[in-house]
Amino acid sequence: MPLSRRRFLRNMSMTGAAVRIGLPPLAAMFNSNGTAYAATGADAAVQPRFVFWFNGNGIPERYWIPREIGVD
């Protein structure tokens, strides 16, 4: 079944458009050796970053981290 313009646009709004459109360009970020282009050159040193984690909508952290490891 060919993918029509209407079906493509409808599916973009119903599913993750970033996953559907954004993942194929990842292959263009690697050279023939499998090394990322960003990891080569003089600026390959890792810069310090600041990460801020916010649990919005009143969802406590205990719902995201399991208490025990094993089959659920």
And the tokens for 49? 């970053």
The whole-number pLDDT of residue 38 equals: 65
Provide the pLDDT for residue 48. 81
- Tell me: the pLDDT tens digits for 6-62? 777 776 665 555 555 555 556 677 777 777 766 566 656 667 889 887 767 777 777
Cβ(20)–Cβ(12) below 8 Å: yes
Q: Output 17 or 72, whichever has higher pLDDT.
A: 72
DSSP three-state, residue 30: strand
Q: What is the pLDDT of residue 68?
A: 84
* Predicted local distance difference test score (pLDDT) of residue 59: 77
**Tokens 């719902």 sit on residue:** 63
pLDDT at 7: 74
Distance CA 8, CA 15 (A): 10
